[in-house]
Amino acid sequence: MKVLLTGGLGYIGSHTAVELIENGFEIDVMDNLYNSSEDVVEKLKQITGKQVKFHKIDLLDMDSMDKMFSEGKYDAVIHFAGLKAVGESTQKPLMYYENNITGTINLLKCMEKYNVNNIIFSSSACVYSDKNVAPFTEDAILNPINPYGRTKYFIEEIIKDYCFANKNFKAVILRYFNPIGAHESGLIGENPNGIPNNLMPYITRVAFGKLKELSVFGNDYDTPDGTGVRDYIHVVDLARGHLAALNKINSFEGYKIYNLGTGHGYSVLDVVNTFNKVCGNKVKYKIVDRRPGDAACVFASPEKALNELGFKTTKELEEMCLSSYNFEKNNK
Ligand code: NAD
Ligand code: UD1
């Protein structure tokens, strides 16, 4: 099976590339390098021993997309490419809608033209309403609260409509919870530009003295220790979820939606304390006000992915912290 990974040099795409190559899939990777670096192509080779074919192409560049598809003969696409910074999306909504939604429509048009009928799409737990009570099942109420989240919601709807119109087309929509961690080689991982918004990249930068201390956003939530609870999933487990989805895509019609999470919630202080335990007390923190828009407690029901895809996570919080630490150490 030959698979195209859009956004395949990014954090989740690169880890998925490794899993696919190691499981015998032929892959091409396309990315516009907006939030990644071409060095990752070499890192993928170092990890897998295989040269990956890379196309530096933007989803919005229809001519280049068409050419890639005309030559690629793909059986499936895993669609990671997109902008993902929540705060930025509130400042630049048009950029987010154009890149994520127009980009996806361009991709679907190419898939239609070249008769590529299988897609796996990177959606997010942020499509769920925070009024749901965890664990979140796939039929929980949807209500994304920022433009980034709405791009994910709208793309889900576009894919569903297209599946309805084209009976040969199949889609797996994966709603990721909170991916953290890095490949055990320490060669690939999450490396956001500027000051990170997300918890783990902030923690690793404090650990290496690039940032002074972590601000814990609120300790007065209705959770066991008062800090926010999330479902952190190791990025290698998450990557394997795509493999499970690809292996099942021929066994159903239309679209399927699955959560990818562990089903366990950890608080901010659980993460900080575990990190300090396995990486040597490096992270100081202070409690500050809540961050606007944050929910108290979000974690997945992983049952549907387990029952239908046979997907089960294997990696614990300790390993997530240690691998994140090792990646930051290698990239100091
Ligand atoms: P990432 O930014 O590391 O990777 C996305 C890649 O897409 C980047 O390499 C970027 O250069 C590329 N890209 C963006 N716009 C493009 C365009 N127009 N044309 C070509 N390439 C383009 O992000 P990630 O963490 O690997 O996330 C992958 C996907 O998963 C995204 O769609 C993201 O919204 C979604 N997601 C991520 C998380 C998370 O916490 N990381 C959670 C839920 C969902
Ligand atoms: C955020 C986004 C979500 C996106 C997800 C993955 C918001 C409101 N939500 O989710 O849409 O899908 O990232 O990219 O931005 N925390 C701190 N201090 C920090 C950073 C975070 O205490 O410096 C806390 C947060 O309050 C939260 C937890 O850590 O309780 C996790 O935060 P984060 O990593 O940003 O993920 P989410 O808020 O779940």
Domain span at residue 84?
Answer: 2-180+232-261
Classify strands 2-6 and 26-31 as parallel, antiparallel or unpaired. parallel
Instruction: Give pLDDT, residue 192.
Output: 84
Q: Does residue 223 lie within any of the structural domains?
A: no
Percent of the chain with pLDDT strictly greater than 70: 100
Q: Does residue 220 lie within any of the structural domains?
A: no
36 touches ligand 1 (CB under 6 Å): yes
Q: Does residue 203 lie within any of the structural domains?
A: no
- For the cut 90, the answer to whether the pLDDT of residue 281 exceeds it is no
Instruction: Give pLDDT, residue 75.
Output: 98
Q: Tell how far the Cα of 229 is from the centroid of ligand 2, in angstroms.
A: 10
pTM: 0.98
Entry field: residues in the chain: 332
d(CA 20, CA 242) in angstroms, rounded, equals: 9
d(CA 28, CA 75) in angstroms, rounded, equals: 11
Q: How many domains does the chain have?
A: 1
Which CATH number belongs to the domain containing residue 74 in this structure?
A: 3.40.50.720
Q: Does residue 282 lie within any of the structural domains?
A: no
To test the ligand 1 pocket, which listed residue (80, 298, 324) has its Cβ within 8 A of the most ligand atoms? Answer: 80
Q: Does residue 251 lie within any of the structural domains?
A: yes
Give all strands of the β-sheet with 53-56 in edge-to-edge order.
53-56, 26-31, 2-6, 76-79, 118-124, 170-176, 255-260
Q: Does residue 126 lie within any of the structural domains?
A: yes
Q: Does residue 245 lie within any of the structural domains?
A: yes
Q: Does residue 301 lie within any of the structural domains?
A: no
Quick one: average pLDDT of 204-220?
A: 97
